[in-house]
Amino acid sequence: MTELLTVTGPATGDVLAELPAATAADVDTAVGRARKAQREWGATAPGERAAVLLRVAALIEAHAEELALTETRQCGKPIRLSREFDVPGTADNAAFFAGASRAMEGKAAAEYSADHTSAIRRDPVGVVGSIAPWNYPLQMAGWKLFPALATGNAVVIKPAEITPLTTLRLAELCAEAGLPDGVLTVLVGTGPVAGEALVSHPGIDMVSFTGSTAVGKRVAQLAAQAPKRVHLELGGKAPFVVFDDADLEAAMHGAVAGALINGGQDCTAATRAYVQRPLYDAFVDGVADLFGTVRMGDPEDPATDLGSLISRAQAERVHGFVSRAATAGARIVGGRAPEGAFHEPTLVVGAAQDAEIVRDEVFGPVLVVLPFDSDDDGLALANDTRYGLAASAWTRDVYRAGRASRELAAGCVWINDHIPIVSEMPHGGVKASGYGKDMSSYALEEYTSVKHVMSDNTGEARKSWHRTVFAGG
């Protein structure tokens, strides 16, 4: 009997869908279809692939409200975030890669050897196995699909089994836009079954995974058996460094927005605020006051700022971090026991640098605030983490800003802001936050193989270099 996976709205507990769980046999079938379809899709001219992606972008915009409501219901995120960030960002990403696919860069064809002409090709990798997370199901699917499709690859994607609905709808829109059958397949299944079968399948040429660092290690281990190319976007513990010359009001508002986006379920969310002592007390008081104005409630209400977390279990997990921090001596502002999957904004003050809540990814609406004295101390504390996905620095001093941008060990550093992303710029981390880039033209490098083609220009049977191997003949 086929196992059914139930998709439940975390804010309401309503059952949204029941879907058959993909098996290893389903993975094998999907990969076989993808390998056949990729040959023709990979040979399609970039302009034709771009036309399909432009139609995808237009269809996303045409179905924006439907996609936003579905995303909010399956994730519990506020409808404003879905309408104004997730859906338009996904449409823009599709449109960007439509253009980028027609303008890939490479070294000029030339005679780098006197008797030969060299040229560089960027060929599709082949069939990509993608695994997307539950926090931004639509956007993360787009980040993986659009650069892969733009460069002529086929994709078998496994969304998180608890949030597959917008990925399935996106696949339908891709088919409506003219994407050939078999080039994109969505498999709804669990990580241990469908996920591991996908990563391990010999017909998969590349794996792209977004999720926790622990699971990312498992993915890399499985993929290494082939070996095959791996792209990983993993966890984060982003520092938010406020120097004593910063615009305090801007920093406080930036901290609230950066910490609470998507309920804090964001690998780039501001989680560790390091504030230079002259501003520390005012920052703590100001952020606490702002947290108190955040409207938590029905995610479908446009007035709601903070919806539910992804599940009751996640809310309880977050509260466990907060409770243990309090037991260890930290002062907690907010942080009451969760109601269902809802968890109120929480400020943690006075935790030690080596505390669990400072070191580990909480993935909830929790901001830890710690003081620092010198600039050296602030940057050192910010970098004192195994993660390196994102960071921000707040200062009016151009030299401080320049130093922070150089020294903060992260794939993205914001100055006087935290969170904004654009399709033209890359997203990806260092250290335990993974490797490889999403978005931007740099993502095209992830999904293409560089091939050197070298052609003889002389027509001579015996080349001058032959004498280094044999003298006669």
In the 3-class helix/strand/coil scheme, how is 231-248 assigned residue by residue?
EEECCCCEEEEECCCCCH
How many other C-beta atoms are found inside a 10 Å radius of the C-beta of residue 140?
A: 27
| Nearest CA among 402, 405, 419, 400 for reference residue 246 | 400
Q: CB burial class (10 A; 0-12, 13-18, 19+) of residue 42?
A: middle
What pLDDT, on the 0 to 100 scale, is given for residue 1?
Answer: 67
Residue 400 to residue 78: CA distance in whole angstroms: 36
Q: CB burial class (10 A; 0-12, 13-18, 19+) of residue 89?
A: buried
State the Cα angle at 198 between 194 and 202, rounded to 5°. 145
Point out the residues that are catalytic.
233, 267
| Nearest CA among 283, 273, 348 for reference residue 318 | 348
Contacts of 93 (CB under 8 A, 6+ apart): 139, 142, 143, 146, 423, 439
pTM for the predicted model, two decimal places: 0.94
**Beta bridge partners of residue 391, listed in sequence order:** 413
Residue 274 to residue 382: CA distance in whole angstroms: 7
Residue 264 to residue 364: CA distance in whole angstroms: 4
| Nearest CA among 348, 286, 341, 292 for reference residue 321 | 348
Can you give the pLDDT of all 473 residues of the chain as single tens digits?
679 999 999 999 999 999 999 999 999 999 999 999 999 999 999 999 999 999 999 999 999 999 999 999 999 999 999 999 999 999 999 999 999 999 988 889 999 998 999 999 999 999 999 999 999 999 999 999 999 999 999 999 999 999 999 999 999 999 999 999 999 999 999 999 999 999 999 999 999 999 999 999 999 999 999 999 999 999 999 999 999 999 999 999 999 999 999 999 999 999 999 999 999 999 999 999 999 999 999 999 999 999 999 999 999 999 999 999 999 999 999 988 888 999 999 999 999 999 999 999 999 999 999 999 999 999 999 999 999 999 999 999 999 999 999 999 999 999 999 999 999 999 999 999 999 999 999 999 999 999 999 999 999 988 888 889 988 76
For each of the domains in the chain, give its residue range(s) and CATH number, in order of start: 4-233+441-454 (3.40.605.10), 238-415 (3.40.309.10)
Instruction: Return the half-sphere exposure (C-beta side, CA atoms, 13 A cut-off) of residue 262.
Output: 23
